[in-house]
């Protein structure tokens, strides 16, 4: 019969946030592999909003506002 080794402490006390404490160690340390500032800037520069995006957002917002106003009133 083989037995599994289990940690006595299920959370990492060095992690400051409760959610980070609950993550397994191999997942939490993968956070250090995030892209650096230059790579993030390249991604953000490709994610620019066009005028069509703004128009669609405004139309959706106005339609939702009118629908909620009618429902309440």
Asked if residue 20 is part of any domain, the answer here is no
pLDDT per residue as tens, the chain (73 positions): 566 666 655 555 666 777 777 777 777 666 555 556 666 666 666 678 888 999 999 999 999 999 999 999 7
Within-domain flag for 12: no
Number of structural domains the chain divides into: 1
Helix, strand, or coil (residue 16): coil
10: three-class secondary structure by DSSP: coil
Q: Would you state the pLDDT for residue 60? A: 97
21 close to 11: Cβ distance less than 8 angstroms: yes
Rama region for 35: left / alpha / beta (φ>0; ψ in -120 to 50; rest): beta
* 63 assigned to some structural domain: yes
Instruction: Read off the tokens for 3.
Output: 């037995």
For residues 15 and 31, what is the distance between their CA atoms, to the nearest angstrom?
12
In a domain? residue 1? no
> What local confidence, expressed as pLDDT, does residue 55 receive?
95
Is 44 part of any domain?
Answer: yes
Domain holding 46, by residue range, is 40-72
Residue at 30 is within a domain: no
Give the per-residue pLDDT at 23: 75
pLDDT at position 54, please?
93
């Amino acid at each position: 019969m083989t037995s599994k080794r289990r940690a006595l402490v299920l959370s990492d006390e060095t992690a400051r946030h409760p959610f980070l404490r609950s993550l397994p160690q191999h997942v939490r340390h993968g956070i250090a592999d995030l892209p650096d500032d230059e790579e993030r800037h390249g991604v953000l520069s490709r994610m620019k909003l066009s005028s069509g995006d703004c128009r669609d957002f405004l139309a959706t917002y106005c339609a939702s506002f009118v629908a909620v106003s009618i429902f309440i009133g």
